[in-house]
Every structure is written in structure tokens, then in C-alpha cells.
Amino acid sequence: MSTTADDAPDAPNENETQASVDYAEILKRIPHRYPFLLIDRGENWVKNKSMIGIKNVTFNEPFFTGHFPENPVMPGVLLIEAMGQTGAVLMSKSLDADVEGKTIFFMSVDGVKFRSPVRPGDVVRMPVEVVRHRGDIFKFRGEAYVNDKIVCEAEFAAMVVESPK
């Protein structure tokens, strides 16, 4: 999925199914809640292929009080988490998973690169695409952009597991 600012992914092919994922559906598909829910909506969902997660970064995010008060920067690990949450929603919708009693967990994160800081007021676009999938295990490639400039990239894997009772 290696892209540049000029060819940052906007939409899948015309003949593929496209869908948006609103905040209410995200809340149904993954267990994260404020302050750890890090995507606001999904765009251009294509079953078993891709989705673009959107995160509106606001000044009142709880991590900015300590990271860093005089020079607020979104922690890089939270950018990875936001891409992971995008992948989890993509997985849940693709598998049409009954989310009751199940959780999607990271299995691995590889090849992470941070390119530029994310600050209050930024809108982060995170195209995530499926590299491979078998059963309940997916491998993804994700990137994060602010104003069409790449700020982070990573490959990661996740799987569906039964939640403890």
C-alpha cells in the first residue's frame, strides 16, 4: 500500500462495494470507549479489503496534558492503536462477526515508522488494507495521513478471541 501524498488512497475501485461506518456502528463493533476509542468514523469500507479510519484530534484529548503540555503531540503508540481499531472494525464487518462475547486483539506490529508529529486540530486519515487473511486472523498494512502527508505506517496482525466470562 505504499503511497505518496499525490496518490494517497481516497476510494476503492468503482466496481467494489463501498460503505461508511458511523460512530454508532463502531461502538457496536469494538469494545473501546472514551478516552481510548481512537476512531470517529470509517470511510470506503470494502469487505475483506480495506477501510479508511478517521480520527479528529482535539486539544482536550486526555493524553495532551502529559504529552507534552507545552508542545502537545499525539503519542505514536496511539496512532498505531487507532490504525488497529480501524483494522478491527474492518475485520468485524468483513466477518460479519457476532461481536457479543468476542474481542479482536493485536497479534503483532512490524515495520513501524513515525514521520511527523500529530497535533491538536489535525484530522488523521488512516487507510488500512488487508494484506492476508485466513479464518479469524487478519494481517494489515496501515498508514496515517494528516493533510495528505504521511505521519505513520505499520504492518500489524489481529485475531478474534472469545472474551472471558
Catalytic residue list: 67
Beta pairing, strands 149-162 & 123-134: unpaired
d(C-alpha 104, C-alpha 126), whole Å: 18
Sheet holding 149-162, edge to edge: 41-46, 50-56, 123-134, 137-146, 149-162, 102-114
How many C-beta atoms lie closer than 10 Å to residue 67's C-beta? Answer: 14
In the chain, what's the furthest Cα-to-Cα distance? 48
d(C-alpha 126, C-alpha 136), whole Å: 22
